[in-house]
Amino acid sequence: MWRAFLNALKVKELRNRLLFTALIIVLVRFASSIPCPGVNPTALENFISDVTAGSNAGGGVMAMIDLFSGGAMTHFALGALGIMPYITASIIMQLLVPVIPSLEKLQRDGESGRGKIAQYTRYLTLIVCAVQGMMVAMAMINPSKIGLPEPGQPLFVGSPVLFIIANIVVLTCTTMVFTWLGEQITERGIGNGVSLIITIGIVSRMPHSVLELIDMAMKGSTPSGTSFRPVQLLLLLAVFFIVTAATIMLSQGYRRIPIQMVRKSIGRMTDGSTYMPLKVNFANVMPIIFAGAILMLPQTLFPALASRPGAWHGWVVLAQAFQHDKMTYAVVYGALIILFSFFWVANQFNPLQIADNLKKEGAYIPGISPGQPTADFLDAAMTRVTTGGAVFLLVLALFPMFLYNTFGIPFMVAQFFGGTSLLIMVGVVLDTMSQLESHLTMRHYDGFLKSGRLRSRSN
């Protein structure tokens, strides 16, 4: 594998792409360390440390935001929102395309239609940035409104109104610049730029998590007081490699549906066989993102309602039930993951259209009649595959919560043992490696594997 990286530096075009990608990543990380205007950095860092170390619902929300922004939220930096508003807008557009006929028509119009959809996605990103920027800025002014404890000292200086307006503008501009830089990486660098920026933000938190694990092993206990010995550290590292291997299997796994192709040649008909891959994890990380985003609403809304004078006692019960360390939260979270796994497949996988395309191309599934029977077979096969993938995804998503609740592993550390973080890292690394391997093999260099190939390769 190391020889493949050395070979990549020998190819001028590939070397330039790698250097360009590295430069963009450095710029993004630099922007994630510059505080926004009007912030009290010392008070904010102390406040975030107290919140993320706690076991309340806010700790889970703030820790998750801080993880995906690569630590930018800790400093309320220019890149505090990161590139997540663009991801949110893209997901919304993907869900709207099958529902709105005009958008579906644009998607069928080829490159020009997809360009229009991309333009609409950027407009929607501006709206999402403005809303999220306002929410984060208001939380900085009064954290108790979203169920967080009162800070020991103000987190900002100056006028609250000017602070909100200025930071909405700054955070929105930074996110749009990050989006543009991500597109530049995709076009002129290596890998999917937007996904790569998110991954680098997640990976940047890994050294801190490793040091925290070592510190816990030396002290003999976790921050919550649970016993933690060096042998447990070794076992946890072994579990990390096992979970990572299982995640790779989930990301790369698929079921092969045999396809027979009828080809016409001069004076005769010939048959050719191939297969259609049905991905086990067709929805990838989307169900976890959807479920987490939806559960952030009760995590912030119920504590805010419960903190009002004379509040209904039911709000207090609901606020406690939806804390991220409660069984109620885990059950609802798991149910939403299963639901969105099938919802995503239902929106993105159209067995009837696939059956029609196979029939037009003279292809068929052996033993299955063309047309509606083929569509029914594909629908049943995809349902079975999705069921297995959704259960696997559910276990992977709940495993960090199990580590947090059972062994007292800090939330930021436990996130690297499953869930969104690990799925994104594995998916982006595999995609980037496949692109590097494609460039190397086209120039007659050895790839990362001596035999076989990465399944995500397009050629």
pLDDT digit string (tens) for 71-96? 676 778 888 888 888 888 887 887 78
**Cβ contacts of 30 within 8 Å, gap of 6 or more:** none
Per-residue confidence (pLDDT) for residue 127, from 0 to 100: 92
Which helix (H) or strand (E) segment holds residue 256: the answer is strand 254-265
| Angle ∠(27,32,33) on CA atoms, nearest 5 | 105
Per-residue confidence (pLDDT) for residue 58, from 0 to 100: 41
Average pLDDT, stretch 116-135? 88
Tell whether the model's pLDDT for residue 56 goes beyond 50: no
Per-residue confidence (pLDDT) for residue 177, from 0 to 100: 92
Per-residue confidence (pLDDT) for residue 385, from 0 to 100: 92
Please, are residues 240 and 416 in contact by the beta-carbon 8 Å criterion?
yes
End-to-end CA separation in angstroms for the chain: 20
pTM value is 0.77
Query: Model confidence at 59, in pLDDT bands (50, 70, 90)?
Result: very low
The model's pLDDT over 212-236, given as tens digits with 9 standing for 90+, comes to 888 888 888 877 777 888 888 888 8
What would the DSSP string read from start to end of 174-218? HHHHHHHHHHHHHHHSSS-HHHHHHHHHHHTTHHHHHHHHHHHHH
Rounded CA gap, 213 and 218, in Å?
A: 9
Per-residue confidence (pLDDT) for residue 136, from 0 to 100: 82
Task: Tell me phi and psi for residue 227, to 5 degrees.
Answer: -65, 140
Tell whether the model's pLDDT for residue 23 goes beyond 60: yes
Per-residue confidence (pLDDT) for residue 458, from 0 to 100: 40
Percentages (nearest 5) of helix, strand, coil residues in the chain? 70, 5, 25
Report the mean per-residue pLDDT for the chain: 80
Tell whether the model's pLDDT for residue 260 goes beyond 60: yes
Per-residue confidence (pLDDT) for residue 410, from 0 to 100: 78
Place of tokens 């080829």: 110
The model's pLDDT over 131-184, given as tens digits with 9 standing for 90+, comes to 888 888 887 887 766 656 677 777 888 888 898 999 899 999 999 999 999 889
**Cβ contacts of 453 within 8 Å, gap of 6 or more:** 437, 447
418 or 331: which leads in pLDDT: 331
Burial (0-12, 13-18, 19+ Cβ within 10 Å), 110: exposed
Share of the chain above pLDDT 70, in %: 85
- Residue 386's alpha-carbon distances to 34, 74, 271, 339, 348, in angstroms, are 43, 37, 31, 11, 13
Per-residue confidence (pLDDT) for residue 53, from 0 to 100: 52
Tell whether the model's pLDDT for residue 112 goes beyond 50: yes
Per-residue confidence (pLDDT) for residue 57, from 0 to 100: 38
Rounded CA gap, 170 and 174, in Å?
A: 6
| Residue 365 token pair | 């599934």
Tell whether the model's pLDDT for residue 124 goes beyond 70: yes
Per-residue confidence (pLDDT) for residue 51, from 0 to 100: 63
Per-residue confidence (pLDDT) for residue 448, from 0 to 100: 54
Per-residue confidence (pLDDT) for residue 173, from 0 to 100: 92
Lowest mean pLDDT among 239-248, 254-263, 351-360: 254-263
Rounded CA gap, 144 and 151, in Å?
A: 9
Q: What is the 3-state secondary structure (H, E, C) of 414-450?
A: HHHHCHHHHHHHHHHHHHHHHHHHHHHHHCCCCCCCC
What is the three-class DSSP state of 362? coil
